[in-house]
Amino acid sequence: MKKFWLILGLLFLIGCSESDQTMLKTFELTNEIQKMNVTGRGLIPYHDNEEEIVDREIVIEHVSDIQKVKDALQNATESTGKNTAEGPLFVLELTFEGGYSKVIDLWYYTEAKTGRFEVDDVMYQLNEDSVSQLIELFESYREQLVQ
């Protein structure tokens, strides 16, 4: 009977340790964002006759728009995939209450509806819904730049 309980206990410990390893870490923002500067080559259409891609900048201060970006980031999971040598499509500078800021490099691929971001040397994978929300949000600001 002792062997039965010993084996059952070991199986329980093995099961617990495996479940801890499969839990994916998510990205968390604990402080309130006051504004967000978005810089990147994805903010204006690129034309073949341009000699180089020019980064554009927008400032997002509307609470609802900031919340959309915050939700998208916080729904992401840590990625174990390789980083790319390709520069980010966008650089997000989040300014928090108290005046400090954090920089996030962001990539998304419209056709594939995939995206990821890097912050503090950690890569995170965006889910498909979050990518769609970010595309829609950034496209609305891009239209303001073109006008």
Q: What is the pLDDT of residues 5-55, one digit of tens each?
A: 667 666 666 655 544 445 567 788 878 899 999 888 665 554 445 555 567
- Residue 59 is part of which domain span? 25-146
pTM: 0.73
35, part of any domain:
yes
Give the C-alpha separation, 68 to 77, whole Å: 17
Report the Cα–Cα distance between both ends of the chain, in Å, rounded. Answer: 79
4, part of any domain:
no
Give the C-alpha separation, 62 to 104, whole Å: 19
Helix ranges (H only) for the chain are 2-22, 63-74, 128-146
pLDDT, tens digit, 9 for 90 and up, residues 96-119: 988 899 999 998 887 878 899 999
125 pLDDT band, cuts 50/70/90, is: very high
Please report where in the chains the tokens 């309980």 appear, as a residue: 5
What is the distance of C-alpha 10 from the center of its chain? 39
Q: What is the CATH number of the domain that holds 53?
A: 2.60.40
8, part of any domain:
no
